[in-house]
Amino acid sequence: MPSDSPKSVIDSMDYKKSGVDIEAGNEVVRRIRPIVRSTFRREVLTDIGGFGGLFRFDSKAYRDPVLVSGTDGVGTKLKIAFLTGRHGTVGIDLVAMCANDVAVCGAEPLFFLDYLAVGKLVVGQAETIISGIADGCRQAGCALIGGETAEMPGFYAAGEYDLAGFAVGVVERDRMIDGSRVEHGDIVIGLASSGLHSNGYSLARRVLLDEGGMALDEQPQGLGDALGDVLLQPTRIYVRTILALVRSFEIHGMAHITGGGLTENVPRVLPEGCSATITRAAWPRPAIFDLIQGRGKVEPEEMARVFNLGIGLVLIVPPQAASDVIRLAHDSGDTAYRIGEIEKGERAVRYV
């Protein structure tokens, strides 16, 4: 007789019907193999597809090596990639956030691993994302020796994904830069950012898109480019400039200006009894920050605590080296400004 009970016999199931496409994953690996190989250094001993990335660390090349590691993600900047359908630069952001952190310790980044999690694996999209990661690795001089692409149906909205990265570098122990040598009278030098980098996007999106109703293809007056182009500008990778500077000069401290801005990141490399006085007018502020502040009526202190405001990296150097450091930074392709000085006081940033 008829039954109202749920269907007791279902059609034959497999992994693909449940939302995971193994063949798509294999196709991604096939496509990215030459891209990943383009990042390899001579120390890499494994090819893509192994269970672990093998890297032959030549300890004889160092007197007292210290390994430095860093991990990070891209954050809600990914929302801009989803909205525009442009995924080629967020991989650069991922490498930058990790490799810059490693390099400000004075370390050379050696290798990188990525984690890409998706709801449904789209082969072309994944290839584009990983191509960006490889581009970032080439800029940072590190090898992309491993990664994981996880397909998790039902976990992410259609077309969305998340990224995480992991970098390892090396520095001689007596060449580590941790801020302990910072002293009164040192000069604070800032290297220009390429925009928001990968921080403050929750506030930026709320102000410009959610509340402001702006379109990503809109070109606001003074911005110079479409809003989406400006918001997707990749984080600048400072590794090559940093390594050139630490080889040539005595660098007392470095700070990667990420979440927390100058306000919270500079004090991380200040010893007790030292404060940093920063001159706000010492560098030109990109128009995107003025747009956010004006549209959102964001207080100046909040802007300085959330965004980099045009300075992506800070160096603290002896006064006699400041001019030469700025010159070499320019020669290495970065724009540098003398933005402040270290003084006696509480470990904090004071703006003038």
Instruction: Quote the domain boundaries for residue 255.
Output: 187-351
How many domains does the chain divide into? 2
pLDDT digits (tens, 9 = 90+) for 194-225: 999 999 999 999 999 999 999 999 999 889 89
170 and 32 in a single domain? The answer is yes
Is position 71 within any domain? yes
151 and 117 in a single domain? The answer is yes
Please, what is the average pLDDT of the chain?
A: 93
Q: Which of 29-33, 199-203, 293-297 has the lowest mean pLDDT?
A: 29-33
Calculate mean pLDDT across residues 1-5. Answer: 52
222 and 346 in a single domain? The answer is yes
Between helix 322-331 and helix 239-248 the angle, nearest 10°, is: 140
Kindly report the CATH number assigned to the domain that includes residue 133: 3.30.1330.10
- Residues 24, 52: Cα–Cα separation, whole Å: 21
127 and 211 in a single domain? The answer is no
**Alpha carbon distances (Å) from 249 to 106, 241, 276:** 12, 12, 21
**Residue showing tokens 């919270």:** 264
Nearest-5° angle of CA 166, CA 93, CA 25?
Answer: 65
Is position 105 within any domain? yes
Q: What is the pLDDT of residue 58?
A: 86
192 and 69 in a single domain? The answer is no
Looking at the chain, the whole-number percentage of residues with pLDDT higher than 90 is: 84
202 and 256 in a single domain? The answer is yes
Calculate mean pLDDT across residues 172-181. Answer: 96
CB atoms within 10 A of CB 147: 20
Q: What is the pLDDT of residue 25?
A: 78
Please identify, among 175, 197, 219, the residue that sits at the C-terminal boundary of a domain.
175
| Cα dihedral across residues 71, 240, 194, 275: positive or negative | positive
69 and 212 in a single domain? The answer is no
SS3 content of the chain, % helix, strand, coil (to 5): 40, 20, 40
Please identify, among 150, 175, 200, the residue that sits at the C-terminal boundary of a domain.
175
**Residue showing tokens 């990983």:** 130
- Residues 146, 134: Cα–Cα separation, whole Å: 11
150 and 268 in a single domain? The answer is no
Please identify, among 153, 175, 197, the residue that sits at the C-terminal boundary of a domain.
175
DSSP string, 58-103: -GGG-SSEEEEEEEEE-GGGHHHHHHHT--SSHHHHHHHHHHHHHH
Kindly report the CATH number assigned to the domain that includes residue 307: 3.90.650.10
Position 9 confidence tier, pLDDT thresholds 50, 70, 90? low
Calculate mean pLDDT across residues 257-266. Answer: 96
**Global confidence as pTM:** 0.93
